[in-house]
Copies of this chain bind each other. A is one copy, B any other.
């Protein structure tokens, strides 16, 4: 079951944990300069090396833009991978916790995503795939700079560890900006998952290591885990304060959001994310009891533009008003 349909550790604040390794095969140019023949060679080599893992092989060229975009929304592929025109392949585990992009910015991007705060497990799962890859192909590695990657910011461990956090109370309190500035000095990046500007839509944030060199993988994981736990504590304290200081207003806000979510006939993406965030906050405070985190995770993905249209069997150019009707319907049905 995919990360968004499950509940993990610290699920009141942490949505998911993700590990990504970038790898390239020695002796073949980076994807930006590969011929189509070399691309096919890489795809074949990697697919074969990882075959013991029993991943589903998805030829991305055969996928429609809507199908590709839906995979982006599920966090299984990157936007760049969805846009790629040359041959590129996705390997996806049956339980949707592991996804390997072949032919993205690097030859191979191994990714694992687990629900809740579970960096250690996600790292272990990624290592298992990395070991298989290592056994079937010679990986470009230098003693000096570590794993060789197309973009120098990934050199070294070539590992990006990230946690997706739901921080509605910190967002309401206007604390995200200063927290993000402090964390950037520690080599940790905070960015809103949806929307531009200071307030992330849905109060969803991705917190990840910005530095891949000079630290071991374990050091990166430990630092990120520590930061994540601090954010979880701050968010919980603020939620408790909100609850005790303005119970009626907060309860009213989350219950109305729940009522609108279950009844609206039209929902824009922006409004939906606001409602979703309020409802999730309400669940965490025990104010809303007839929906849970796993169901809310499923609703979040179901309501995102491409997944929505794909599920409804509607074309990519469906007008906004119709899309809002479809979104409201999908949300109503999923919340029922």
Chain A residues at the B interface, C-beta cutoff of 8 Å: 248-249, 251-252, 255-256, 258-266, 321, 325, 328
Contact = CB atoms under 8 A, between A and B. Distances in A.
Nearest to A332: B255
A293 B249 CA distance: 30
Contacts of A258: 263
Contact of A265 (B255, B260, B261, B321): B255
Nearest to A262: B259
Nearest to A322: B248
Contacts of A261: 259
A260 B254 CA distance: 11
A266 B264 CA distance: 19
A139 to B, nearest CB: 54
A249 B259 CA distance: 17
Contacts of A255: 263-265
Contacts of A265: 248, 251-252, 255-256
Contacts of A328: 252
Contacts of A259: 256, 259-264
A15 B249 CA distance: 34
A256 B260 contact: yes
Contacts of A251: 265
A112 to B, nearest CB: 38
Contacts of A266: 248-249, 252
27 contacts: A248-B265, A248-B266, A248-B321, A248-B325, A249-B266, A251-B265, A252-B264, A252-B265, A252-B266, A252-B328, A255-B263, A255-B264, A255-B265, A256-B259, A256-B260, A256-B263, A256-B264, A256-B265, A258-B263, A259-B259, A259-B260, A259-B261, A259-B262, A259-B263, A259-B264, A260-B260, A262-B263
